[in-house]
Amino acid sequence: MKERTDKNPWLSIILPTLNEASVLASTLQSLQPARNNEVEIIVVDGGSTDGTLEIACARADIVLRGSPRGRAVQMNHGARHAKGTCLLFLHADTRLPVDAPRLLKQEMDKDGAWGRFDIRLSGNHRLFRVIEFLINQRSKMTGIATGDQCIFIRPELFWQVGAYSEIPIMEDIALSKSLRKTVPPVCLGPKATTSSRRWEQNGIVRTIFLMWSLRLFYFLGVKPETLSRWYR
């Protein structure tokens, strides 16, 4: 484990990684202006072999090596090492809005408990603008947030609801369902930009059908292990 010990942060940004060298440097570089005495960056790696660790060590405050694989497991592991009074879970291919720390500080000062940002897909295809709109509207209506929307939460509430369920898929949906029973999410309008590479590689319509089908079957009670096999 690589760690800086001279910080007293209010915000802990937690990134789970597994062979994310192609996108991680850009994501971490965008966070450097916020990397001061009040914001810490924690990278939790699940066994990368592609240079991810070297990139993380140069740009993060804490790098946790050798975590068991699995996004939920890795995020929980990072949360245990976080010092902040707000946790923010960030995917390696997602960029926060430029003024995200300021916006989060405002919400925490107003006793915000948990929430997420609106999302923007990085690609230029017109369909992406429609997909973004539907994702953001669905989230506002249901109180369900996805990991791409950069979920943030107070640590005490995170542990109170049992943290992330350590399941292979839908851990963000499971967490949101638990949290919304306690308090509705804060829905921040500034957009986090997430990579559209999955949509572009697998086909936009095909990916829409797959993701909505997985969520539907999850709500109908299909086990996450089964959904994970379908996803792969």
Q: How many CA atoms lie within 13 A of 215 on its CB side?
A: 15
What number of residues does the chain have? 232
Question: Residue 76: pLDDT above 90?
Answer: yes
Tell me, what's the pLDDT at 230? 83
Q: Where are the beta strands (DSSP E) in 6-113?
A: 11-17, 39-45, 62-64, 86-89, 94-95
Question: Residue 36: pLDDT above 70?
Answer: yes
**Average predicted confidence (pLDDT) for the chain:** 94
Q: How does pLDDT run across 136-147, given as a tens digit for each residue? A: 999 999 999 999
Residue 4 confidence class, pLDDT cut points 50, 70, 90: low
Task: Identify the residue whose tokens are 């990991």.
Answer: 147
Q: How does pLDDT run across 164-177, given as a tens digit for each residue? A: 999 999 999 999 99
Residue 208 confidence class, pLDDT cut points 50, 70, 90: confident
Q: How does pLDDT run across 37-74, given as a tens digit for each residue? A: 799 999 999 999 999 999 999 999 999 998 999 999 99
What element of type H or E holds 205?
A: helix 204-219
Q: Which amino acid is at 64?
A: L
Tell me, what's the pLDDT at 50? 95
Residue 231 confidence class, pLDDT cut points 50, 70, 90: confident
Q: How does pLDDT run across 180-191, given as a tens digit for each residue? A: 999 999 999 999
Helices 204-219, 224-231: axis angle to 10 degrees equals 170
| CATH fold for domain 2-201 | Spore Coat Polysaccharide Biosynthesis Protein SpsA; Chain A (3.90.550)
Q: Where are the domains of the chain?
A: 2-201
Tell me, what's the pLDDT at 5? 56
CB atoms within 10 A of CB 18: 18
- Distance (Å, whole) CA 129 – CA 118: 12
